[in-house]
Amino acid sequence: MKHNFNAGPSILPRIAIENTAKAILDLNGIGLSLLEISHRSKDFQAVIDEAVALFKEVLGIPEGYQVLFLGGGASMQFCMLPYNLLGKKAAYLETGVWAKKAQKEAKLFGEVVTVASSADKNYSYIPKGFTIPSDADYFHITTNNTIYGTEIHTDMDCPVNLIADMSSDILSRPVDVSKYAMIYGGAQKNLGPAGVTFVIVREDILGKVERAIPTMLDYRTHIKEGSMFNTPPVLPIFTLNETLKWLKALGGVKKMYEMNKAKANLLYNAIDNSKMFVGTAEKDSRSLMNICFVMKDAYKDKEEAFMEFAKKRGMVGIKGHRSVGGFRASTYNALPIESVKALVDCMADFEKENA
């Protein structure tokens, strides 16, 4: 059996994969594949309508917000966001590579202030005690940092429009959407396959900048056209909808949060009680989605041996990012706790033989 800890594209609910496979052969018994129907057909319109409605339901999205399904990944949002919202100044919290890349794009459109950074300790913690400038057009945060295993666990009060890249922790915990002006992210962690990007945007923040915005990069274009100004990523949206149905049937985001905490606690406890392994993120900043750890100094020479040992036990995708090293177990929504137990057992067995 394979245990999929890939950081993204990552594990998906089995039922979402199976239902997508069926739809690729024949969508709803219409005799055509999902891959060959018109995106403007009633059959696909029903899919995208259901996906929007389910997203609003499971996340508790209030009135006044629009849900969009776009292309280009979260990386496209790094420029699309300031194009639409940065008039004079924006503020960013720098908690890793993706936050830094988002910041870089924003600098093309106006002044950018870094309110705090955790670069001094290789992004191993979430900064605290920073001041958000009240004259900023928005404040941007990256809620979960896949490479470093850190996460912002609460919905902060913010004096300006709060924007969050939630690519890797969307739907992993309850979120008070009303505290955010916009939430966006790539789908390929907790929602679906690569190829679709979600944007949840409060409509009243748009249309404030003076610059001309290219049609495709204007959020208002996609709101007006229901995410169908151009051909949307049909297959990823279908799978995303199947994932939302799975999540709702499971008990929603609240239930998912309980399950995610149980998985993370199990693995963190194993790391903290280990003679051989040690976590890399500061404890009060630890992510529920990406659990990063390394060998203690005395056992550094055992890393490759553990990778091989784990591979033989069915562990997939646990190699740490090159900027951190060591190991990373991504415990996204669809990962069953049985896989975490298998990894914990694998670590314990290797330690018995080698410590």
Active-site residue among 189, 263, 302, 319? 189
Strand runs (DSSP E) across the chain, as ranges? 3-4, 65-70, 89-94, 111-117, 138-142, 144-145, 150-151, 161-165, 182-186, 197-202, 277-279, 290-295, 315-316, 327-330
Side-chain-side CA neighbours of 334 within 13 Å: the count stands at 28
Alpha helices in 32-126 (DSSP H): 42-59, 73-85, 97-106
Q: Is 165 a catalytic residue?
A: yes
Residue 88, token pair as written in the block: 């004079």
Burial class (CB in 10 A: 0-12, 13-18, 19+), 178: middle
Phi and psi of 101, rounded to 5°? -65, -40
Active-site residue among 98, 169, 245, 302? 98
**Residue pair 312/1 in contact by the 8 Å Cβ criterion:** no
Active-site residue among 42, 101, 137, 165? 165
**What's the full length of the chain, in residues?**
355
Q: Is 261 a catalytic residue?
A: no
Q: Is 137 a catalytic residue?
A: no
Q: Which positions are annotated as active-site residues?
A: 98, 165, 189
